[in-house]
Structure 1
Amino acid sequence: MAPVVRKLLGPQNRNLWFWVFVGPFAIGLTLFTYVPLCWSVYLSFFDAHNTVSPTDFVGLDNYTAMLGDDAFTDSLVTFGLFTAFIVPATFVLSLSLALMVNRLRWAQAFFRSVFFLPVACSYVVAALIWKMSLFSGVRFGLVNTVLGWFGVDQIAWLSTTDPPWYWLVIVTVRLWLQTGFYMVLFLAGLQRIPPLLYEAAAVDGARPGWQTFRYVTFPQLRATSVAVVLLLVINAFQAFDEFYNLLSDARGYPPYARPPLVYLYYTALGQEQNLGLGSAGAVILALIIALVTVAQARFFRLGRKED
């Protein structure tokens, strides 16, 4: 074997086996992620109506038009409202479940699996279940049926804007789908806390319950809490399936509760199929996600050593 080939393969062909296992994933990631991303950035500088190979260069006009579009800025406001609902609700609920499951002395694996199971459910399927079975219209739906038992008037959950009951439907389906995942993250963090810390806290007079949680448990979960908040905010930016499948119908999508991805979907794949404008909006959204993530990381001092 030639020295150059032997050097490329590495000792005991380790480099060869590395590429055998990693190569297919790297190729798929390049073809289906990085190439479309780069092409989207390219399209954002062109007038791309009904084509992915435009020739009319417009520079930053698409970005200017997108930033001046009230519908796009309204979609960012919708994201802000969704984030204000879903991030603290998911954080508190997943942490509470993790604390309860961690205290179980029996069947802990069973309850961990039960709470995690919704994570494997499709967002589309879950949204349709919420729409057609639980919060279906005025005459039907499990929630309206239960409310009727107590004499409460039936509610059109997805079409009532005053008050905006559709937020209850959107937030609850997202909570059901993702709480189990973050519960597992918190549970892993809880199981890494040394028992000696609790013993030392007890010796110092800390009472079991709130004092122990405040001064021992929660500070030890700082790294996990920061990671959970970062993931929740990024996932909120990427919300699409539940909004689209809950609120859209044969007449289209209503003007309210339209997050950025739904707006970009109709911009790029709607009647005009303005792929250039949609690509510019996607780039702007990606930059906003990156800036928010970096700002959060710096605010929480992510990656720095504890003082």
Structure 2
Amino acid sequence: MRRRISDNTLWFWVFVGPFAVGLALFTYVPLLWSVYLSFFDAHNTVSPTDFVGFDNYTAMLRDGAFTSSLGTFAVFSLFIVPATYALALALALMVNRTRRFQAFFRSVFFLPAACSYVVAALIWKLSIFNGVRFGLANTVLGWFGADQTAWLSTTHPPWYWLVIVTVRLWLQAGFYMILFLAGLQRISPRLYEAAAVDGARPGWQVFRHITFPQLRTTSVAVVLLLVINAFQAFDEFYNLLSDARGYPPYARPPLVYLYYTALGQGQNLGMGSAGAVILALIVAVVTVFQARWFGLGRKEAD
């Protein structure tokens, strides 16, 4: 018996060990080193000696560009979180009601999630929302006699938000659709049978009183993941808006700002690390607040 337990432990570490070592080396060690750098004056070096305490944190919080990047995140979240939630739920409801080819539609809607953010951003930038008459969006507008629009450089009105939000929506809606599908398939058919016996009309009434409340846990998880992913937005912003002249001063999310702070011309790794720690703390606080607000993990009353 003891030998069997020992063998199981050995094989556990044989399979899990390489992943654990990789996780420690490429995730936890860099995170801890970033926290360490945030307390030092680290210009062009990852092994600084000049301890500055919380000066980097104070400078970041007083930096208007950093606080503006947080505002960009807030605007992006207001657009992308409810839009993705609504679209993913609608797709899940339609696919779940499909009697034939359900696997086909599930695969088709999920397929964009496997696409690279960089590739999708370049397709949106060069083919769909190109600022010249050859772009698909301007071609369609030309059919109705509308003028061409420079989608990514027009700030009044800010058309660039349409490009950024639609590419992210296309990329991630299918993934969250799968989460909602899993939640829908966990709902007991007896609930719908009881509702039919009680005279509930199919459609909005059943969805409002049965389907949507039963998706509460899934909805909380989806909203949490959407907010965290919005904080981590980088690829689509950088590849859509940057060019040979650099990145424009508008629509600069936190990770793009920190990228230029730590790896740009100044190479200020201390300031960049402090901003990363602040951003991580904000994500943690927002996540905990949302979990408490939605009652995640709270035992339901009998």
TM-score by length of 1: 0.97
Uncovered stretches (5+) of structure 2, i.e. residues with no partner:
none
* Structure 2 residue aligned with 1:3: none
Code of the aligned partner of 1:264: L
**Displacement after TM superposition at 1:306 (Å):** 1.6
Matched, 1:106 2:100: yes
Choose the corresponding residue for 1:247, options 229, 237, 241: 241
Choose the corresponding residue for 2:264, options 255, 270, 276: 270
CA RMSD of the aligned region, Å? 1.0
Code of the aligned partner of 1:175: L
* Structure 1 residue aligned with 2:191: 197
Matched, 1:304 2:298: yes
Deviations 1:283-307 (A, max 9, x none): 0000000000000000000011222
Matched, 1:154 2:148: yes
* Structure 2 residue aligned with 1:78: 72
* Structure 2 residue aligned with 1:63: 57
The percent identity for this pair of structures is: 83
Q: How many residues align?
A: 301
Deviations 1:11-55 (A, max 9, x none): 261100110111010000000000000000000000000000000
**Displacement after TM superposition at 1:139 (Å):** 2.6
Aligned-partner Cα distance in 1 for 2:227–2:84 = 11
- Kindly indicate whether the alpha-carbon contact (under 8 Å) linking 1:137 and 1:158 is maintained by their aligned counterparts in 2: yes
Deviations 1:96-151 (A, max 9, x none): 00000000000000000000000000000000000000001133200100110011
After TM superposition, the structure 1 = structure 2 runs for residues 1-307 of structure 1, keeping only pairs within 5 Å, are 11=5, 13-307=7-301
Aligned-partner Cα distance in 1 for 2:4–2:299 = 36
Aligned-partner Cα distance in 1 for 2:134–2:245 = 21
Aligned-partner Cα distance in 2 for 1:141–1:292 = 39
- Kindly indicate whether the alpha-carbon contact (under 8 Å) linking 1:10 and 1:16 is maintained by their aligned counterparts in 2: no
Aligned-partner Cα distance in 2 for 1:28–1:123 = 24
Q: What secondary structure is seen at the aligned counterpart in 2 of 1:106? A: coil
Code of the aligned partner of 2:122: L
Structure 1 window deviating more from structure 2 (10-19 vs 107-116): it is 10-19
Q: What secondary structure is seen at the aligned counterpart in 2 of 1:72? A: helix
Aligned-partner Cα distance in 1 for 2:93–2:19 = 37
- Kindly indicate whether the alpha-carbon contact (under 8 Å) linking 1:75 and 1:259 is maintained by their aligned counterparts in 2: yes
TM-score by length of 2: 0.98
